[in-house]
């Protein structure tokens, strides 16, 4: 940080200006490759960014869009937005799990048909019921509790629909954190195939 006594260096680029050309280059390459990344927590900012890109790619071509997901989850309704928009657009989407796919990220991952759900070998998956803090007047706490129960049932229905499990079985499975390796996720029905190379993605 400059102080009143320190010299000003106009020829030294700031970190943001230095990375701008590189960022623009990568953005352009990713768009041409029809590839999106969902990394880190799922937030309203994430949802807005992914939705904008999905709509743009859908308008550009009917070719498949690849989404790489590595996320612990986050805001459920933001995950809902991505989930619904993936199902809304016309272009098919391939979901590719990597690192870990948990909670709300698992929910958006399940937005595509099973045959389009892939993961890399070291991916871990987490399914569980939603959580939320309760505070305020007793009436507000009761409302929050009812909403969590409804969200739990909605998540369970999605998992059941997309894995072929019964709703009763899924409700039991998500009562506590349920971690699955890539192989276990295939057995459970979350994932269609484990792949190691991009060429395997097209070999269907």
Tell me the average confidence (pLDDT) per consecutive run of 10 residues in the chain, 204 residues long.
40 46 76 93 96 97 97 94 98 97 96 97 93 62 78 94 96 95 98 95 67
User: CA distances (Å), 73 to each of 69, 148, 170, in order?
Assistant: 10, 16, 18
What pLDDT was estimated at residue 9?
Answer: 36
What pLDDT was estimated at residue 14?
Answer: 43
For residues 119 and 101, the answer to whether their CB atoms sit within 8 Å is: yes
What pLDDT was estimated at residue 27?
Answer: 78
What pLDDT was estimated at residue 149?
Answer: 85
What pLDDT was estimated at residue 143?
Answer: 75
Distance CA 128, CA 156 (A): 9
List alpha helices for the chain, DSSP H.
Answer: 15-32, 44-60, 76-88, 104-109, 138-163, 167-173, 182-188, 198-202
Name the pTM for this structure.
Answer: 0.82
What pLDDT was estimated at residue 50?
Answer: 97
Q: Which residues belong to the active site?
A: 103, 128
């Amino acid at each position: 940080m400059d102080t009143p006594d320190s010299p000003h260096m106009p020829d030294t680029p700031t970190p943001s200006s230095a990375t701008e050309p590189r960022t623009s280059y990568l953005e352009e390459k990713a768009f041409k490759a029809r590839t999106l990344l969902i990394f880190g927590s799922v937030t309203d900012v994430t949802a807005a960014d992914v939705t904008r890109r999905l709509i743009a790619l859908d308008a550009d071509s009917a070719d498949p869009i690849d989404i790489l997901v590595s996320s612990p989850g986050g805001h459920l309704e933001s995950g809902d937005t991505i989930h619904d928009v993936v199902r809304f657009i016309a272009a098919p989407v391939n979901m590719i799990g990597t690192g870990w796919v948990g909670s709300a990220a698992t929910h958006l991952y399940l937005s595509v048909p099973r045959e389009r759900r892939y993961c890399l070998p070291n991916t871990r998956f987490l399914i569980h019921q939603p959580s939320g803090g309760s505070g305020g007047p007793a009436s507000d706490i009761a409302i929050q509790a009812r909403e969590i129960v409804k969200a739990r049932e909605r998540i369970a229905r999605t998992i059941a629909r997309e894995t072929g499990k019964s709703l009763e079985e899924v409700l039991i499975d998500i009562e506590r954190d349920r971690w699955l390796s890539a192989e276990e996720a295939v057995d459970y029905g979350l994932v269609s195939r484990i792949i190691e190379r991009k060429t395997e993605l097209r070999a269907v």
